[in-house]
Amino acid sequence: EAGVAQSPRYKIIEKRQSVAFWCNPISGHATLYWYQQILGQGPKLLIQFQNNGVVDDSQLPKDRFSAERLKGVDSTLKIQPAKLEDSAVYLCASSSPDRGEYGYTFGSGTRLTVV
Amino acid sequence: KQEVTQIPAALSVPEGENLVLNCSFTDSAIYNLQWFRQDPGKGLTSLLLIQSSQREQTSGRLNASLDKSSGRSTLYIAASQPGDSATYLCAVNLGQAGTALIFGKGTTLSVSS
């Protein structure tokens, strides 16, 4: 079974620029999550999708961050404009509790550096 | 608000030593608890998942226990090896399956040969 795919692996941008990250979850996983992990911290949830609907986006800075999951499969997370404090690893994960699979599978992440 | 704390923040041990990593959470109403491993610059690898009704789970040299009433979990690593060097993260799942995980800050383990 293929894992959670993320791209790009690394991205360096200047502040005020925009950036987008892509995630393809495990096939058939209805639930998709985007987490932000700042250096030295545990991952923090940004947004959770169930199929193509948003379940929880309470911690998403909506003035600059947006995310979509069209067709309930892959997802894109965008930052516009980026700030220095957005430098972090952005992790995508998927799960399938509807199929009795209670674990979470994470992708390798995208490391963003804002200069 | 659920908070997850991991102690110690960092740990250095010689190869072959048995060790325990600690995780505590403030709200005992969890659905399950999961331990992850994170290598530098990499994503998270799931190690063990304990449902709220379970007391422990084992995988090879790893054993995770859960005491939900006291809000504690431990990860026991037997006969540590240099390849075990990584950051270990504890995460709890509130409410029901499919809700987002709440993570601790992790314990960074270094095993010297």
Cα–Cα dist B32/B94, whole Å: 7
Query: What confidence tens digit (pLDDT) does each residue in A32-54 have?
Result: 999 999 999 999 999 999 988 99
pLDDT of residue B94: 79
Tell me which chain A residue has its CA closest to the CA of residue B45: A106
Percent of chain A whose pLDDT exceeds 90: 79
What's the average model confidence in pLDDT over B99-107?
91
Cβ pair B105:A40 closer than 8 A: yes
Torsion of CA B3, B4, B9, B10, to 10 degrees: -160
Cβ pair B44:A43 closer than 8 A: yes
Cβ pair A102:B49 closer than 8 A: yes
User: Which among B42, B45, B104 has CB closest to A42?
Assistant: B104
Query: What confidence tens digit (pLDDT) does each residue in B29-88 have?
Result: 888 899 999 998 888 999 999 999 999 999 999 999 999 999 999 999 999 999 999 999
**Bridge partners of residue A68, in order along the sequence:** A76
Residues in B 28-57 with any Cβ partner in A closer than 8 A: 32, 34, 36, 41-46, 49, 51
Beta-carbon contacts of residue A102 (< 8 Å; ≥ 6 apart):
A95, B32, B49, B51, B93, B97
Handedness of CA B45, B51, B52, B58 (dihedral sign): negative
Query: What confidence tens digit (pLDDT) does each residue in A92-101 have?
Result: 999 887 666 6
pLDDT value at A2 more than 80:
no
